[in-house]
A and B are shown apart, each in its own frame.
Chain A
Amino acid sequence: MGADAAGSGAPIERPEGRYLHGVPDADLKVVGKPWRKIDARARVTGQTRFADDLFAPRMAYCKLLRSTQAHARIVRIDASAAEAMEGVYAVLLGKDLPITFGILPVSQDEHTLCIDKVRFVGDPVAAVAAVDEDTAWEACRKIVVEYEALPLVTDVFTAAATDPEAPHEHRIHDYGRLGNFHRQENLEFGDLAQGFGESDLVREDFFFFEGNTHLPMEEHATLATFDPDGKLCVQSSTQTPHYLHRALAKVLAEHVPAHKIRVIACPNGGGFGGKSDPFSHEIAVAMLSIRTGRPVKVTLTREEVFYTHRGRHPVLMRSRIGVSRSGRIKALDFETHLDGGAYGSYGTASTFYTGALQCVTYHVENYWFRGARYFTNKAPCGPKRGHGTPQPRFALEVQMDKLAVELGLDPVRIRKDNLVPANSLTANWMRVGTMALGRCIDQVVAGSGFLDRWQKLPHGKGVGLACSSYLSGAGLPIYWNAMPHSGVQLKLDRSGLVTVFCGSTDIGQGSNSILAYVVGEVLGLDPQDLRIVTSDTDLTPVDLGSYSSRVTLMTGNAALQAAERARDLIAPHVADKLGVPRNRIGFAKGRVFDVSDPDQGMPFADAVQLAESKLGTIGTTGSYRPPKSPARYKGGGVGPSANYSFTAAVVEVDVDPETGIYTVPRIFVAHDIGRSINPCLVMGQVEGSVYMGLGEAMMEEMSYRSDRFGVHKIPSMLDYKSPTTMEMPELITWLVGDPDPNGPFGAKEAGQGPLLPIMPAVANAVFDAVGVRVDEVPITPEKVFEGIERARKGKEPRVGPTKTPHVDWPEARKVRTPWQGGTGLEVEREQEELAAARANGGASRERRGD
Chain B
Amino acid sequence: MLRLPKFSYHRPASGAEAVRIVAAHGGEARYVAGGTDLYPNMKRRVQRPGHVVALSRCQDLRGMRGEARSGVTIGAMTTLSAIEHDPRLRAEYPGFVHAASVVSTPLLRNMGTIGGNLLLDTRCNYYDQSHEWRESIDFCKKCDGSTCWVAPSSPRCWAVQSSDTVPLLCAIDASVTLLGADGERRVPLRALYRDDGIDFVQKRHEELLTALHLPATNGWRASYRKLRRRGSFDFPVLGVGACLSMDGDRVAELDVRIGGAGSWPIPAQKTVEMLRGAVLRFDDAASDELIRAAAQEAYKPTRAMDNTDLDAHWRKKMAPVFVARAIRDCLPGAPPRRDVLG
Interface residues of A (CB under 8 A from B): 66, 68-69, 121, 133-134, 137, 219, 299, 301-303, 656, 658-661, 663, 699, 705, 708-709, 711-716, 718-719, 721, 723-727, 780-782, 785-786
Contacts and interface: CB of A to CB of B under 8 A. Distances in A.
B309 A68 contact: no
Given A661-B342, A714-B125, A719-B125, A724 B233 contact: yes
B318 to A, nearest CB: 6
Contact of A782 (B137, B230, B231, B310): B310
B232 A725 contact: yes
A215 B336 CA distance: 37
Contacts of A133: 3
Contact of B314 (A303, A716, A785): A785
14 contacts: A66-B132, A68-B132, A219-B1, A299-B1, A658-B321, A709-B137, A714-B309, A715-B129, A715-B133, A719-B125, A724-B231, A780-B310, A785-B314, A785-B317
Nearest to A723: B230
A718 to B, nearest CB: 7
Contacts of B232: 724-726
A220 to B, nearest CB: 12
Contacts of A299: 1
Contacts of A121: 136
Contact of B137 (A658, A708, A781, A786): A708
Contacts of B3: 133-134, 137
Nearest to B342: A661
B89 interface: no
A409 B35 CA distance: 59
B311 interface: yes
A723 B129 CA distance: 21
A669 B132 CA distance: 43
Contacts of A705: 137
Contacts of B186: none
A324 to B, nearest CB: 41
A782 B304 CA distance: 14
Interface in B197-212: none
Interface string B1-14: 11100100000000
Nearest to B339: A663
Contacts of A699: 229-230
Given A727-B231, A781-B310, 12 more contacts: A68-B135, A219-B1, A303-B130, A699-B230, A708-B137, A711-B133, A711-B136, A715-B133, A718-B234, A721-B234, A726-B231, A785-B314
B318 A659 contact: yes
A782 B229 contact: no
A826 B232 CA distance: 54
Given A299-B1, A711-B136, A781-B314, A718 B233 contact: yes
Contacts of B299: none
Contact of B311 (A302, A656, A723, A782): A782
Contact of B309 (A712, A721, A724): A721
Contacts of A780: 310-311
A563 to B, nearest CB: 43
Contacts of A782: 310-311, 314
B321 A721 contact: no
A133 B342 CA distance: 42
A302 B3 CA distance: 12
A723 B231 CA distance: 9
Contact of A301 (B2, B137, B311): B2
B229 A659 contact: no
B119 interface: no
Contacts of A68: 132, 135-136
A303 B132 contact: yes
A303 B232 CA distance: 21
A726 B230 contact: yes
B340 interface: yes
B220 interface: no
A782 B129 CA distance: 25
A122 to B, nearest CB: 9
Contacts of A725: 232
A299 B129 CA distance: 19
B334 interface: no
Interface string B165-193: 00000000000000000000000000000
A300 B231 CA distance: 29
A709 B3 CA distance: 26
Interface string B130-157: 1011011100000000000100000000
A545 to B, nearest CB: 27
Contact of A663 (B137, B233, B318, B341): B341
A69 B229 CA distance: 30
Contacts of A656: 342
A149 to B, nearest CB: 12
A718 B125 CA distance: 11
Contacts of A727: 230-231
A780 to B, nearest CB: 8
A708 B149 contact: yes
Nearest to B152: A708
A208 B216 CA distance: 54
Contacts of B2: 301, 303
B309 A719 contact: yes
Contacts of A661: 341-342
Nearest to A67: B136
A663 B128 CA distance: 28
A586 B308 CA distance: 66
Interface in B100-146: 125, 128-130, 132-133, 135-137
Contact of A659 (B149, B233, B321): B321
Contacts of B137: 705, 708-709, 711
Contacts of A786: 314
A54 to B, nearest CB: 15
B338 to A, nearest CB: 13
Nearest to B4: A134
Contacts of B309: 714, 719, 721
Contacts of A659: 318, 321, 342
A716 B233 CA distance: 13
Given A658-B321, A782-B311, A713 B231 contact: no
A656 B227 CA distance: 13
A435 to B, nearest CB: 37
6 nearest CB pairs, A to B: A726-B231, A68-B136, A782-B314, A782-B311, A724-B232, A726-B232
A724 B132 contact: no
Given A301-B2, A303-B130, A709-B137, A726 B342 contact: no
Contacts of B128: 716, 719
A460 to B, nearest CB: 13
Contact of B130 (A301, A708, A713, A718): A301
Contacts of B230: 699, 721, 723-724, 726-727
Interface string B61-79: 0000000000000000000
By CB atoms of chain A within 10 A, which of B3, B130, B230, B310 has the most?
Answer: B230
Contacts of A715: 129, 133
B117 to A, nearest CB: 17
B229 A721 contact: yes
A660 B229 CA distance: 12
A714 B128 CA distance: 9
A817 to B, nearest CB: 45
A115 B314 CA distance: 44
Contacts of B136: 68-69, 121, 709, 711
A309 B172 CA distance: 46
Nearest to A141: B131
A781 B322 CA distance: 15
Nearest to B137: A709
B340 A726 contact: yes
Given A727-B231, A782-B314, A301 B1 contact: yes
A24 B234 CA distance: 51
Contacts of A719: 125, 128, 309
Given A303-B130, A661-B342, A713 B125 contact: yes
